[in-house]
Amino acid sequence: ELKKQGLEILTGMKIQESRIKDGLVTLRGVSLQRKSSFEYSGEKVLTAAGRRPNSEKIKEGLPELDLDEAGFVKVNEYMETSQENIYAIGDLVGGKLLAHKASHEGIVAVENACGNRMSMDYRAVPLSVFTEPEYACVGLTEEEAREQYKDDVRIGKFPLRACGRALTMGKTEGFVKIIAREEGEILGAHILSHCASEMLPEVTLALKHGMKASELSSVIHAHPTLSESIREAALSVQNRAIHILNLTHS
């Protein structure tokens, strides 16, 4: 979809120099794949390269906390650090640097600090990218699933162009993809669609509670809705999709 909009995506590019001249930003560097130099110019540069922890600050006035190689504070599934009664959450502990992940880690930490026992389940942390169409995902990618489960992986995929609601909205770009094991356990989901971030929680819930594709597909969805695509993708895992041709996706 990005290519249709005239966007070119380049990966493995190392930026070595940037200059501003005549209202344009010029980037120069080396392609790590082609082993050749490159030069590109544009009106703006957006950098989204993540963050590095400022771990030295937390050491002031606190007992020594164990850090990982990247400088993030080490915690267990209960958000406990290496020091008793000291908890850490959010970007400080690494992983996906997301506000909703940090918020839930805070809930886990408080529950445990108050004497309850609650663990953090990182399998069920969703991620959304607010492009148009939106992209949202949870759990494993297909590559990760095949690396972990080898041939015990099935893929269900449903295109938005076969969804009635997407057709009426004129938003037919994208698809819903569900990754599951042979017996149906849901391992991950990837959605490229208008309102993908709003569609994902249903699959996140299914993944968190160990549901199978057959259980997810048994849920009745209102028609016409975008969320019907989730049911169709779950049916596709089982080669039982209704509105597309069923192919083997193992």
What's the pLDDT band for 250 if we cut at 50, 70, 90? Answer: low
Is the per-residue pLDDT at 168 higher than 70?
Answer: yes
Q: Which residues are catalytic?
A: 223
Report the C-alpha gap between 176 and 193 in whole angstroms.
8
Peptide bond into 133 cis (omega under 30): yes
Quote the tokens at residue 10.
């380049």
Q: In the predicted model, what is the mean pLDDT of residues 131-139? A: 95
Yes or no: say if 136 and 130 are a contact pair by the CB < 8 Å rule: no
Distance CA 196, CA 132 (A): 10
Lowest-confidence region among 61-75, 94-108, 166-180: 61-75
Is it the case that residue 209 has pLDDT exceeding 60?
Answer: yes
Give domain 55-120's CATH number out of 3.50.50.60, 3.30.1510.10, 3.90.1200.10, 1.20.140.10.
Answer: 3.50.50.60
Band of pLDDT at residue 48, cut at 50, 70 and 90: confident
> What is the full DSSP assignment across 64-77?
PPPB-TTSPBP--T
Which CATH number applies to 127-237? 3.30.390.30
Predicted confidence (pLDDT) at residue 53 exceeds the cutoff of 90: no
Quote the CA–CA distance of 146 and 148 in Å, as a whole number. 5
User: How many CB atoms within 10 Å of residue 67?
Assistant: 17
Residue 63 pLDDT class (50, 70, 90 cuts): confident
What are the residue ranges spanned by the domains of the chain? Answer: 13-42, 55-120, 127-237
